[in-house]
Structure 1
Amino acid sequence: MAQHQITLTINGTERSLALDDPRVTLLDALRQHLDMTGTKKGCDHGQCGACTVMANGRRINSCLSLAVMHDGDTITTVEGLGEPENLSPLQAAFLHHDGFQCGYCTPGQLVSATAMIEEIKQNWPSVVSGDLEKVSLSDDEIRERMSGNLCRCAAYANIVDAIREAAKAEGVA
């Protein structure tokens, strides 16, 4: 079987991969081929959000997407959001509000929330947006936009508080 060469820009670094099988998911390419284990494999069916990454700025479930589909794309994983000594505002807010318990869902929650804040900045409405011209960041808006990311420990109230704080710090209200 022929190898499939792909190039991804992951967290600002160009990475080349030779895949023996074109059916390798982006999640498995990250974890097994590039040793980037921050992105978690939860359900492997696109139902829990633990595997959320951003592809060209849009959040996706990496367990449902083939790596070969992203040749040339820019991928952001949880490792690209901040450093232990220089946390992103969202990571700092998660710590401040205890937005995690077991922590398994946290990478997907952080990546998804980062993308969600960008969606709000770009004024993308959701199904619960009251005003399609100017989207505001209500708790209902946060819950709706984060509904694809499950937390088995049920830290949802803390996650909403953390997202609200981080969004406010970034000038989104």
Structure 2
Amino acid sequence: MLIEHGYSRVITADGLEFTFCPSFARIAALGRPGEILHTFKGLFGSDARLNARYVLVTLCEQEDATGLLGWLDADGNDHPGSMPAQEQICLAAHLLRHGMVGTVTKAEEGGRPVSEFNVAEYVAAARVHLQMNAEDAEALSMSEFQALFEMKFPDAKKKKRDVPTREEYRAALAAMS
């Protein structure tokens, strides 16, 4: 589990473990492209608690997270879980940032506003440019997608990477022989 790519784990005082995965497939399960963005924005509004719970339930790999997150009954009564609402909001924002925005800054992206998040475009890009099958592409978070894309297509204007390119590796091997 790579926390650098947004994957998170919560372990309760009872020892129950919950894993949250901000993969493209799970992000797509939040709704249509416009709904996904609306849910993300909802984490910063008056219904942040409910939006966070929805995000966490959708991105949780375990089937039943009600003990951790709480639930609403048929009458609309809120039954809180063991995780405080504010922590749920923070975790949901963290997951969606890594699942939708990744690690780029606004300056790198151009800072243009968007009205939707189309998961299918990123899955297709991973399949075409990174030669991944659909299942592997859907398992990526945006942060992971960006890291893989940068490794395959390094930006010459950015600082030197710690990992050598294939050409640098071959040149070093030739120099040693």
Normalising by structure 2, we get a TM-score of: 0.27
More helix per residue: 1 or 2? 2
Task: Pick 1 or 2: higher relative contact order, CA cutoff 8 A, min separation 6.
Answer: 2
More strand per residue: 1 or 2? 1
Normalising by structure 1, we get a TM-score of: 0.27
